[in-house]
Amino acid sequence: MRHPPDVPVTGSPWPPIADYAFLSDCEVTALVAPSGNVEWMCVPRMDSPSVFGAILDRDAGMFSLAPAEARVPAGQRYIPGTNILETTWGTKTGWLIVRDVLLVGPWRHDRDRSHTHRRSPTDYDAEHVLLRTLRCVNGTVPVHMECDPIYDYGRATARWQYSGAAYEECSATFEGHDLKLKLHSDLRLGIEGTTIRARTTMHDGDLAYVAMSWGDDHDVGAGAPTSFGEAYKRLVFTADFWHEWLAQGNFPDHPWRVYLQRSALTLKGLVYAPTGAMCAAATTSLPESPGGQRNWDYRYSWVRDSTFMLWALYTLGFDWEADDFFHFIAEVCAGADLQVMYGIGGERQLEEEVLDALEGYEHSRPVRIGNDAYRHQQHDVWGSALDSFYLHTKSRDGLRDMYWPLLSQQVEKALTHWREPDRGIWEVRGEPKHFTSSKIMCWVAADRGARLARVREDEAKIERWQAAADEIKADVLAHGVDERGVLTQHYGTSGLDASLLLAPLVRFLAPDDERIVNTVNAIDRELTVHGLVLRYRVEQTDDGLGSQEEGSFTICSFWLASALSEIGEHKRARAVCERLLSYASPLGLYGEELDPLSGRHLGNFPQAFTHLALINACMHVIRADREIALAQQPLDARRREAL
């Protein structure tokens, strides 16, 4: 797998991370490069092995569709209000439009029951089809298609055979795996070893399609279109699905509306519909530092994201998705001890494995699947879970009896362990510390527990849990504040941590408290590089990875905007938001990090946590804008009489 790649003039065979487009049918996701190459796609779930993995190794599978002699499109966009990609190509002989979509159709299980869905059925379901349509709009355009799936992260090649009457249909199997693929097209498909190729010249007005479906022997190809007309109807149905879903939201009439809508669509695409779990990102092992070892698998669901997910969805009016994710969190909280993270199907064991055969994005190794962070002890999980239940209860004006034993258990866990060190919100792989943000989240667990106990009128728990919350707060203020009056990363240090920007957001102290103001200003002053916030200074933090540099975590910069808004620094908050929005990818997406010097997107992509923080920060600023506008005295337009 170490064949020297053809290196373009950019110096790398990999597109910049920010240039990828994101597709989803709410069960499977895909990343499409500007060249028309599908370079990442896992089936049958978001966290399954990849069938196209070129983003991690140029020999790990891809699916290209583009003009034969062009690599750079004239333009690319999402069809507004959807996750359907439209790429326009201009060549010396003509113009071509390609649309890529993971199809969504009507609910499929009318005569049987789904084996994967644990949430209530809706009107829609994933079709398990990647559809690519072509339309020549001017002149003539030679087109080349190449489909080279290599399953299981480049370890299992396809065995193709014709399954139609002529050249319109091919089927693939993979030795040792149950997965079946089927390719339908009105192009003439040719089998060349493990690859399917097609080539044609399209003329003005010509239409064509290619559809790849997946499944087992029972259902593979069942949802695939068999003509362009049918393909177009399926595409329109999927567009209607996205439009109808987006219309349920409450988006402010504001210049930032488009960013909020794109973030909402991205989050919807990262929600695994059968369980309601939110996948933290669509990818694994995209590097936080190119060429470095900070490469992790983010195709799982973190409990810490739950509060932000529910806040964002309830704020924008997407109650169904919020409820589904809440029920997923409630399920994983039941029974055994609460973990930091889970599989999107609720799996508890996420064993980490290094794939030595893959060279990694821009030679960034190791490439990992699975994530050993599931073993870590992180004390913020109880607060995140309790805050989720608290937000859900506020939205429903009541708390169901079935949840009370579960909630009580999580509060008691926090009270049992809050005095112990942990690995913190960033899952550091160094020695456990008494991280201040973890203590604050244990306070959240006790505080929200006491508030929920008031709903239940459980006087004994109200008194005991409130007393515990007061004790935790006193301990943090005694040991987690330095001589400057600033909250510190952990006890016994003067180092800073961007996670402390959450303190005013979770109402640990009042926004006008001097220690909150000092902390926000210190982070803005000392953890900011070229206007972007670092998680922490790597030279001051034992994260188990040495002093290897990393980019700025974009979520931290959005937290800064929210925190500045909380302490009344509206102009500074707006400036931070405007700067961050200017860093959006060409399609309005965000990765995990931004390089403070170049603005380059780094880390797994797209990143749910970043888009959640964007919604939070933008809504903070928009609300402050409205409050300022309402406070302005209206102009007196009456004509004044001359003296």
Last residue of a domain, one of 247, 267, 289: 247
Give the integer Cα–Cα distance in Å for 526 and 534.
Answer: 9
Supply the pLDDT for residue 542: 67
Q: What is the pLDDT of residue 1?
A: 35
Residue 588 lies in a domain: yes
Give the pLDDT score at 543. 63
Q: What is the pLDDT of residue 549?
A: 67
User: What does pLDDT average to over the chain?
Assistant: 92
d(CA 439, CA 24) in angstroms, rounded, equals: 37
Does residue 586 register a pLDDT over 80? Answer: yes
pLDDT of residue 640: 57
- The band of 635, judged by pLDDT with boundaries at 50, 70 and 90, is low
What is the per-residue pLDDT for 546?
Answer: 59
Is the confidence at residue 7, as pLDDT, over 50?
no
Sign of the four-CA dihedral 215, 218, 223, 225: positive
Whichever domain contains 524, its CATH number is: 1.50.10.10
Segment (H or E) for 637? none
Strands 156-162 and 85-90: unpaired
Per-residue pLDDT at 143: 98
Enter the tokens of residue 239. Answer: 């567009």
Q: Are 500 and 523 in contact (CB under 8 A)?
A: yes
8 Å CB contact between 291 and 14? no
CATH number of 185's domain: 2.70.98.50
Mean of pLDDT values over 565-591: 97
CB 349 within 8 A of CB 2: no
pLDDT of residue 393: 86
Does residue 73 sit within a domain?
yes
The pLDDT value recorded for residue 638 is: 62
Domain assignment present for residue 428? The answer is no
Q: What percent of the chain shows pLDDT beyond 70?
A: 94
| Residue 214, CA distances (Å) to 27, 178, 209, 506 in order | 12, 10, 17, 44
**Beta strands at 94-106 and 85-90: parallel, antiparallel or unpaired:** antiparallel
Alpha-carbon distance of 308 to 322, in angstroms, equals 10
**pLDDT tens-digit series, residues 19-52:** 999 999 999 999 999 999 999 999 999 999 999 9
Whether residue 420 has pLDDT greater than 50: yes
Residue 399 has pLDDT above 80, yes or no: no
Q: Mean pLDDT throughout 488-502?
A: 95
pLDDT confidence band for 9 (50 / 70 / 90): very low
What are the φ/ψ torsions at residue 10 (nearest 5 degrees)? -70, -15
Q: Say what the pLDDT of residue 283 is.
A: 98
User: In this structure, what DSSP letter does residue 131 have?
Assistant: E
DSSP states of 321-362: HHHHHHHHHHHHHSSSPPPSEE-TT--S----EE-TT---GG
For the ranges 157-161, 331-335, 512-516, 562-566, the lowest mean pLDDT is seen at: 331-335
CB 500 within 8 A of CB 439: no
pLDDT band at 69 (very low <50, low <70, confident <90, very high): confident
Give the end of a domain, one of 228, 247, 266. Answer: 247
Domain-located, residue 137: yes
Taking alpha carbons only, the member of 436, 585, 590 closest to residue 498 is 436
pLDDT-above-90 percentage for the chain: 75
The yes-or-no verdict on residue 2 having pLDDT over 60 is no
Name the pTM for this structure: 0.94
Among the ranges given (12-21, 205-214, 533-542, 623-632), the one the predictor scored with the smallest mean pLDDT: 533-542
Q: 573 is in which domain, residue-wise?
A: 480-632
pLDDT at 5: 38
The verdict on residue 456 lying in a domain is no
315-331: average pLDDT:
88
pLDDT score at 396: 74
pLDDT at residue 111 in the model: 75
Question: Could you tell me if 602 and 592 are in contact, meaning their C-beta atoms sit under 8 angstroms apart?
Answer: yes
128-157 pLDDT, tens per residue?
A: 999 999 999 999 999 999 999 999 999 999
322 in a domain, yes or no?
no
Which residue has tokens 């409130």? Answer: 466
Tell me which H or E stretch contains 122. Answer: none
What does R_g of the chain's alpha carbons equal in angstroms? Answer: 26
Indicate the pLDDT class of residue 229, thresholds 50, 70 and 90: very high
634, pLDDT greater than 80: no
Under DSSP, the state recorded for 15 is: P
Question: For the chain, how many structural domains are there in total?
Answer: 2
- Asked whether residue 515 is domain-assigned, the answer is yes
Mean pLDDT lowest among 219-223, 519-523, 556-560, 586-590: 219-223
- Please identify, among 216, 247, 278, the residue that sits at the C-terminal boundary of a domain: 247
Q: Report the amino acid identity of residue 179.
A: L
* Range in 250-259, 413-422, 629-638 the model is least confident about: 629-638
What mean pLDDT comes out for the span 373-391? 89
Number of Cβ atoms within 10 Å of the Cβ of 540: 13
DSSP 50-77: EEE-TTT-TTS-EEEEEETT--S-SEEE
On whether residue 409 sits in a domain, the answer given is no
* Residue with tokens 């997406």, as numbered in its chain: 589
Q: What is the DSSP string of 194-240?
A: TEEEEEEEEETT-EEEEEEEEE-TTTTTTT--SSHHHHHHHHHHHHH
